[in-house]
Structure 1
Amino acid sequence: MSEQSASQTTSRYYFSRVKDVHLENGQAFITLFARLTIETPEESKCVWVDLEEELWDHADRKLQNAPNGIYTYQITEEVFRELERLSGHRRYDLYSLTPLYKAVTFRRLAPNRDAAAKKRAMGGEWLLNN
């Protein structure tokens, strides 16, 4: 087996997506982060990364209601390449997309701060929908 094919079989492909809500000068913002990474035994290589910040009031309801947290999807190379292609011309779609995956992990970010920021953003009206 060649050195290149040995490394291809041990490559792992990941798509990570993060959403967080924070207050700045009394205004609520949603921060979005996404990354495509290839990991081999030798290195971890970030292929694409994006960071967006959006006013709470300008975000769609689905994004507002999504939990603050970090999703990490282990995906196939084929799915990885498709996400890489999408990142070039429809990157915002990657923040709400759930790819076909081999494995997924989710870690919630500061749930108490999440609820408080959402409550303030909605003018004190808090709907328990999470």
Structure 2
Amino acid sequence: MMKASSAGSAFLGILLIGATMLGCSSPTQKSSSENGDSTEDTESAIYMVYHLLGGEHTQEEIATETNKVLSYAGQVTTDAAQEALWDSILNVKRGLEESGYAGPDSMQVLECIPSGMDRYSATMTEAVAYCSLEVAGIPESQW
């Protein structure tokens, strides 16, 4: 039987690996926006996240918060960087759910990242894992 701290370290390691894995892709297509006035690139990270989150937040809210986090972490706010950040958030969420934990609210995780980077002296990717655990309500003693 592993000690609790060893198990917690292994669990956090698994989450960090999940946070760094990429692989979200879809075919490029154009579709009408909600108001029908213009078209959007349906392959953009923000568009995909908007639909994955069930429309709970506007694309503008998602883009604004995503770009704040990327800027805070010193990264350029490109579609590729947005996609990488969201892949990390969603991979950790999926990993928690597959491990039997409640999935954290993805926007709360996103909003936690800057303070998580400061609080844990962590990289953005590490902060994704820490914030996911925190938002999911998993006690730090189990990390």
Q: Could you tell me the TM-score, scaled by structure 2's length?
A: 0.29
Q: Could you tell me the TM-score, scaled by structure 1's length?
A: 0.31
The structure richer in strand per residue is 1
